[in-house]
Amino acid sequence: MKPVKIIIDKISEGPLAISEIKYTFRTLLSIAGLPFHFIEDEKERADIYYGKACPGDHGLFIEMADIRRENIGRPIKAVKENNHVFLLFTNRQREDNLLITNTNNACIWNDIILSSFYLLSGWEERFIRRDRKDRHVVQESFLYREKILHDPIVNQYSTMLRNLRIASH
């Protein structure tokens, strides 16, 4: 199997650092069982393009959230679509048809990289109060309140990437 080629848009003020984006892709694609490598040349056709706008013909475009790092808090809401949970961090993100596929390419109009990093890094824990035994009060968790605490969101994204990759080859 050929490695998945990934291009990361060079946005200076994106929500995550390049190292965090690469860590998240490594985790998702490792779970998916897919080999991968990052490429720099935007003229080369990538299997995955992660950025604010898709500049050309790529297999899969993943939209980068239009939010600055210092403004990332809890997600605003969760949207379920086709057995996938998408976390929305801004009001500007679409809430319908977040995954669009056709014969040549696909678009994920949601920042699943930010969502995955948010979940993998425990980002939300800083917003959750602790009880007197220093345990997080789970009832204050966004995931608990949205009734998605037990949904394997990161695994859903990995499976989505694997299925989209298989469909495109």
Relative to beta strand 84-88, strand 106-108 is unpaired
pTM exceeds 0.85:
yes
- Quote the pLDDT of residue 55: 73
pLDDT of 167 above 80: no
Q: In which band, very low, low, confident or very high, does the pLDDT at 166 lie, cut at 50, 70 and 90?
A: low
User: Distance of alpha carbon 80 from its chain centroid, rounded?
Assistant: 14
Q: In which band, very low, low, confident or very high, does the pLDDT at 93 lie, cut at 50, 70 and 90?
A: low
pLDDT in tens, 61-85: 999 999 988 889 889 999 999 889 9
Mapped onto helix, strand or coil, the DSSP state of residue 19 is helix
pLDDT of 151 above 60: yes
∠ CA 83-86-87, rounded to 5°: 150
Phi, psi at 10, each rounded to 5°: -90, 80
Q: Is 161 exposed, middle or buried (0-12, 13-18, 19+ CB in 10 A)?
A: buried
pLDDT of 31 above 90: yes
Tokens describing residue 53: 């706008």
Higher pLDDT, 12 or 46: 46
